[in-house]
Amino acid sequence: MNQKGELNEDINYFLNVVLKNAGYKTREKAYNALKLLYSYCLLFDIEVIDLTSEDVDRLIQFLYGGKIDGKFLCFDISVTRHTNTIQNYLNIYDQYYKYYSNKEYSPFRISSCFVTSNYIRFSDRSQQFKQMNNTKYITKIQFEKIINIIRNEYSIREYIIVNLMYYYGLRIGEVLGITLEDLKFDNNQFKIIIRNRLTDKPWQKSKGLLTPTSKEDYTRNSFNEIDSGFQVIYVTENTYKMFDEYIEDSRTTSQLMISQKRLQNLNERCTADKIDTALNIIENQYIFLSKNLYKPLTNAGWNVVLREIFLKAKISVDQNKKKLNLNHRFRHAFAMNLVEENVSPNQLARRMRHKSVSSSYKYYNPDEKDQFKILEQYKESLGEKYDFRL
């Protein structure tokens, strides 16, 4: 929609044709950025084509959010954004403006994300002392709280999902994309195969693996090579049995007979491409289902459940800005637990399924207690080395 509430063919063409080769996340970011651009234009009754560098400066203040005091107008916006986010938005606006106006020049290209003196961040209004850094990972104590809440108030579905993320380091997209044929038992080993399929929705994608564009891709050598077309996660027998229990419980006749729609959705909406032809299953399905409609569980649907669990466990969640991804905190915990086990950088990268050690460094985010512990260990090591006793 444009600022007049009409379907805008230019926006539609830009998102679906100009950006057709971009990833889903890139197009989603562009969609959100353009929503804000047209909201600003609607608010000030400006056409995108008529934007000047002065308008762009005001737009930047609008994007930052918080409180802005002007001579004739004041903003008090609770949602705030970081400079990197705004710079990404400006790059999108620059590309869109050039396409929309068919000009080489764009007022967005020369803009810088600087905050003016009359700007007050929403978060700066409180004078309360804040921690040096918010914990980016789930601590062991927090995880125990989460598990206890799930045991008492939720189902085995939630129990399996958080265990996969915390103990095995799976991303939420990898979890939601698991199908019946991805559960393997051979050579006395229990495994989960992680891969992408044509039937996957954007929230079921596995990062860093090839994405098929046709069914013929499934037979290509590259799609059948480990770390290229698939990855293997070794799990305990107990984890494997929990999958069996959930699959049996969620697909029993008594559950399906509650609603005819459930059975219809299970047969029509949950089907996944069958890749392993040697496996003796008639139909492949995504394992994790929504509780009421029995469609494949979505990222948005799961996030509602997880946020509810976090609040019950009194774990901080972002209210107005998504700074700390709730699901990814489990993967950060997986990394921090490995660091605590003193694994080498190369081993850490391998366990995290990263292609480089540098990617794994981003997951090392010690909180204040961790940093104090590191300092104490360092002091102890110095004492052992130099023996300062008189």
Does residue 39 carry a pLDDT above 80?
A: yes
Q: Which of 95-109, 159-173, 269-283, 317-331 has the lowest mean pLDDT?
A: 317-331
Does residue 230 carry a pLDDT above 90?
A: yes
Q: Which of 59-63, 91-95, 171-175, 322-326 has the lowest mean pLDDT?
A: 322-326
In Å, what is the CA distance from 107 to each residue of 9, 51, 90, 101? Answer: 22, 7, 10, 11
d(CA 317, CA 146): 14
Ranges of beta strands (E only) in the chain are 65-69, 74-80, 119-120, 183-186, 189-195, 230-235
pLDDT tens column, 99-115 = 888 887 788 865 445 44
Task: Note whether 177 and 197 are within 8 A (CB).
Answer: yes
Residue 34: in which H helix or E strand, if any? helix 24-44
pLDDT tens column, 127-158 = 333 343 456 889 999 999 999 999 999 999 99
pLDDT tens column, 295-329 = 999 999 999 999 999 999 999 886 544 555 899 99
d(CA 321, CA 131): 18
Average pLDDT of the chain to the nearest whole number: 82
Mean pLDDT of 11-26: 83
The radius of gyration of the chain from alpha carbons, rounded to an integer in Å, stands at: 25
Does residue 9 carry a pLDDT above 90?
A: no
Structure tokens at 326: 């709730």
pLDDT at position 354 is 85
Structure tokens at 379: 């002091």
Task: Note whether 68 and 118 are within 8 A (CB).
Answer: yes
Is the CA virtual torsion 343, 346, 352, 353 positive or negative? negative
d(CA 45, CA 19): 27
Q: Which residue type does 277 have?
A: T
Does residue 370 carry a pLDDT above 60?
A: no
Does residue 45 carry a pLDDT above 90?
A: no
pLDDT at position 236 is 96
- Per-domain boundaries in the chain: 9-124, 155-295, 302-386
Q: What confidence tier does 245 reach under pLDDT thresholds 50, 70, 90?
A: very high
User: What pairing do the DSSP bridges indicate for beta strands 119-120 and 65-69?
Assistant: antiparallel
Count CA atoms within 13 Å of residue 55 on its CB side: 19
Q: Name residue 120's beta-bridge partners.
A: 67
pLDDT at position 106 is 83
User: What pairing do the DSSP bridges indicate for beta strands 74-80 and 189-195?
Assistant: unpaired
Q: What crossing angle do the helices spanning 83-101 and 24-44 adopt, rounded to 10°?
A: 80
Mean pLDDT of 363-372: 58
Nearest Cα to Cα of residue 170 among 146, 135, 205: 205
